[in-house]
Chain A
Amino acid sequence: MTKQLLIVFFISLFLTLGACSTSTKQMPGDVISDDYEGGDPSLDDASTTGLEGEGGLSMGSLDDVIAQSGNVVYFDYNSAEIRDESLPLIMAAAESLTANPASQLRLEGHADERGTREFNLALGEQRAQTVRDLIMLQGVSGNQLDIVSYGEEKPAVVGSGEQSWQQNRRVEIIQ
């Protein structure tokens, strides 16, 4: 996965070395403006380059990503850290918000049942905030994101044990 990311990154970097405007004569190293998606690729933003179907990060719409792998970001115990595998969903969400500045997403934060209810309310919010912060780092306005924490009060799976708990430590991205 990482290797493909790097390839995508370097190719996109290569493509932007030339001018963005169209040129009448194709020279080696020139930007091929038809293929180039535009925008200003930054080091972190490999997903916006114009290499369709190259694998690595999904370039599909948010709906596509959700249809494929769900709308939920999962977390480790007592942690609000984003796992690598959550990045496609979060980036797709950021993209969707960027493309539609009038649109909004709600981030619902949750925790598993261990520990006190009030502390878990705060932990759920922390998780939602971490997702929000990452989305906002992509240039999305905070106005487009709404946060609610339910703590441990709305488990996805009722029951004790890690099988259940890991499914409850989550942020749901709601359109």
Chain B
Amino acid sequence: MKILVRVIALSMFLFIGQSAHAVLEIEITQGVEGALPIAIAVFAGDTYSSPEAIETIVRNDLARSGFFDVLDKQRFPQAVVSSSQLNFKAWRDTGVESLLLGKIIQSGEGQYRIEFQLIDLIRKKRLLGNVIPAGTKDVRKVGHKISDLVFETLTGIRGAFSTRVAYVSTVSQGASKKYVLQIADADGYNARAIFSSSKQILSPAWSPDGSRLAYVSFESGNSAIYIQDIIQGTRARVSAKKGINSAPSWSPNGRQLALTLSASGSPDIYILDIAAKNLKRLTSGSAIDTEPSWMPDGKTLLFTSDRSGGPQIYQVSVNGGKAQRLTFEGKYNAAADVSPDGRFLALVNNSGNGFRVAVMDMQSKAMRVISNGNLDEGPSFAPNGSMIMYATADQGRGVLAAVSADGRVKQKLRLTEGDVREPSWSPFR
């Protein structure tokens, strides 16, 4: 399925300007055998040179995806050159098959032209080329755009580098805690708070059009579900019944929320029509039924139930009826997130070695564990299905990690203060 692009060499001219102060730091914690090496080279040119910016952004994006690997600068066969001076054989001898060249030219005060071209070293052909104008504040956006274009050209899969992640962070303030619902770029930069509270926040979920977040807040003294418009900042409370109101999950058409309510006596799955404000009950019984997740065709829902003794994943029609059990491996399977194409589930599994993220093939039911913590949770698929974000612990602190869907490359995104949890990967913009 993956196109085996051997190596891509990235050659980008380094850009000036302040590097955005990243609240989430990225480090690659696990390398990959058979990955696609990337080289990043400084391109000699007539413009500024300084660390950070486009070269680093693209390098991190492509490496984090699990499809690429970066060629060490020390192994560059030549100093960065223009495309006309390329020694194709020398580059190919390092194992590189593709080369990304770039140049940044200042065109005015705080204004730049970012030129790039992707070269197939074997066929000696240019695969991609463009010029993108950008102001200083657009640099990261342009970098991610270039990553998307390179990724799609070489893998055939739409790039997800221009997407965002929502998550909850908690910070201790003396004896009390502050909970903040934040949105950041998918690489952790440009984090901004969208809701802040002295009470607990849980389960953020993006609407399919990326304009709203549903989440659980304890601000009223009990769990309740809110929907917040990210641009306007306005919010509405959509469920505040007696008992639990939680686990909101948007339908593919964005008009309904599946959620968990325990007003009937035990937690069950309901579907809320957001505009009409009416509820449809999907499950009943004294078991715990929670964590609904929609299949992309909008016809069935997955959810967690302990009706067989311990938490397992079930599937039920949106019209209710008998639920079908999907997971049989391990004593604990919960928090299922469906891949965008509906072929896979990411979920939390415990088969005796702690709580880990696993991916299950919906067809074959084969399950593969892809994380290696003890308390991993909250898996969320990227909108192109190639990666999964999840929450894990690192040295006693909550952090997010991104892992390629096959589990081969992991990268931790570390918050510099407090705990981070509950990631939700945005849809494509």
Contacts and interface: CB of A to CB of B under 8 A. Distances in A.
Interface of A: 78, 113-119, 121-123, 125-126, 147-151, 153-154, 159-160
Contacts of A119: 288, 290-291, 304, 306, 311, 334-335
- The interface residues of chain A, by DSSP majority, are classed as mixed
Interface stretch (B43-51, B139-147, B183-191, B241-249): B241-249
Contact of B260 (A122, A154, A159): A122
B203 interface: yes
A114 B393 CA distance: 12
Interface of B: 200, 202-203, 218, 221-223, 243-244, 246-247, 260, 262, 266-267, 288, 290-291, 304, 306, 310-311, 332, 334-335, 348, 350, 355, 374-375, 377-378, 393, 396, 421-422
A121 B246 contact: yes
Contact of B304 (A114, A116, A150): A116
Given A126-B288, A154-B200, A118 B335 contact: yes
A115 B202 contact: no
A122 B267 contact: yes
Contacts of B422: 117
A148 B222 contact: yes
A117 B355 contact: no
B375 A125 contact: no
Nearest to B170: A153
B200 A150 contact: yes
Given A125-B262, A148-B222, A153-B202, A118 B290 contact: yes
A116 B348 contact: yes
Contacts of A118: 202-203, 246-247, 260, 290-291, 304, 334-335
Contacts of A148: 221-222
7 contacts: A115-B355, A117-B422, A118-B291, A121-B223, A121-B246, A121-B267, A148-B222
Given A115-B355, A116-B334, A117-B378, A125 B244 contact: yes
A148 B199 CA distance: 13
A78 B334 CA distance: 14
B244 A121 contact: yes
B377 A122 contact: no
A118 B202 CA distance: 8
A113 to B, nearest CB: 6
Contacts of B334: 115-116, 118-119
A117 B377 contact: yes
Nearest to B334: A116
